[in-house]
Structure 1
Amino acid sequence: MEYTIQAAVTGEFDDVVDATTAALEEEGFGVLCDIDIQGTLKEKLGEEFPQYRILGACNPPLAHEGLTAETELGALLPCNVIVYERDDGDIVVSAVDPEQLVGIADNDSLDSIATEVTERFDRVLAAVSEEFEPASAV
């Protein structure tokens, strides 16, 4: 089952993270948390891991609408967008597929919100892809 939408680009990792954050902001999302998986695994386990960041993205009006329709939706928020480095050096930006995510709730009133978030995430991925050279297939 596919549960993300993604784009792969060639560029400097931190630049791709910055571009992703800026594109999310353009679409009305704030990044509530930024988790550095590479740093965390190194610090907590002494393990090496490729560059990998989890951005917890939230669009307050859409979150409010969703939580009003389904109180338990908060367990699925914020929507995660990940940026990671593949073995070949390319950078992948991957967002949770909102339609798959809210499908768990089985609440038809969330469908329009999921569609809206999907459209916004598609534009985020397109903006990042336009800013950097495309990479080989994801």
Structure 2
Amino acid sequence: MATTTASLDIPASPERVWQLIGGFDSLPDWLPYIPTSELSDGGRVRSLRNEDGGVIVERLEAFDDKARTYSYSILQAPFPVTGYLSTLTVHETPGQDTARVEWSGTFTPDGISDDEAIALFHGIYADGLAALNHTLTVPDQRV
């Protein structure tokens, strides 16, 4: 089993960050490479579509609004891994109006090396956190 974690300090309150990312169906609000998400199974399953039209189906495994964290597994995806479980958490930074967002995952590579799988998901997490930071800190440019 392989693991990876990416984290980023974002100059926004933990409450504001969680308000944006805490909904299991909220990825299109802050992750540009996931333009659509549809919930099913009472809100416990999300079907995502990426920019290329690929489908990723994920199940909510745990949710704690007070602790600002949720975990999910992958039911269907074009990734070369099995047993995928990921957690997204927003932490307070004591004495600052800053949130530390952590995105971590565990998985078993299937047909690729541990290092290749780790690089794949670490890149997804790091790019996602950068997009989140951009969404929260860059003024809306739409007309």
- Give the structure with the higher percent helix: 1
Structure 2: gaps spanning 5 or more residues: 35-49, 51-55, 139-143
Give the superposition deviation at 1:29: 7.3
For residues 56-110 of structure 1, what are the alpha-carbon distances to aligned partners after superposition, in whole Å with 9 as ceiling and x for unaligned? Answer: 14443156x422xxxxxx3xx42112112121231111112x5xx45xx698735
Asked if residue 15 in structure 1 is aligned to residue 28 in structure 2, the reply is: no
Asked if residue 131 in structure 1 is aligned to residue 135 in structure 2, the reply is: yes
* CA separation of 1:17 and 1:56: change in aligned 2, threshold 3 A: same
- Give the structure with the higher percent strand: 2
Consecutive aligned runs of 4 or more in structure 1 exceeding 4 Å deviation: 27-31, 105-108
TM-score normalized with structure 2 length:
0.53
Q: Which has the higher contact order (CA 8 A, sep 6+)?
A: 1
After superposition, where does 1:1-138 map in structure 2 within 5 Å?
A: 4-20=5-21, 21-22=26-27, 23=30, 26=34, 30=58, 32=60, 33-36=62-65, 38=66, 52-59=67-74, 60-61=76-77, 65-67=80-82, 74=83, 77-88=84-95, 89-96=97-104, 98=105, 101-102=106-107, 109-111=112-114, 112-133=116-137
TM-score normalized with structure 1 length:
0.54
* CA separation of 1:83 and 1:31: change in aligned 2, threshold 3 A: farther
Show the counterpart of 1:42: none
Please tell me the root mean square deviation across aligned C-alpha atoms, in Å: 3.5
Percent identity of paired positions between Structure 1 and Structure 2: 13
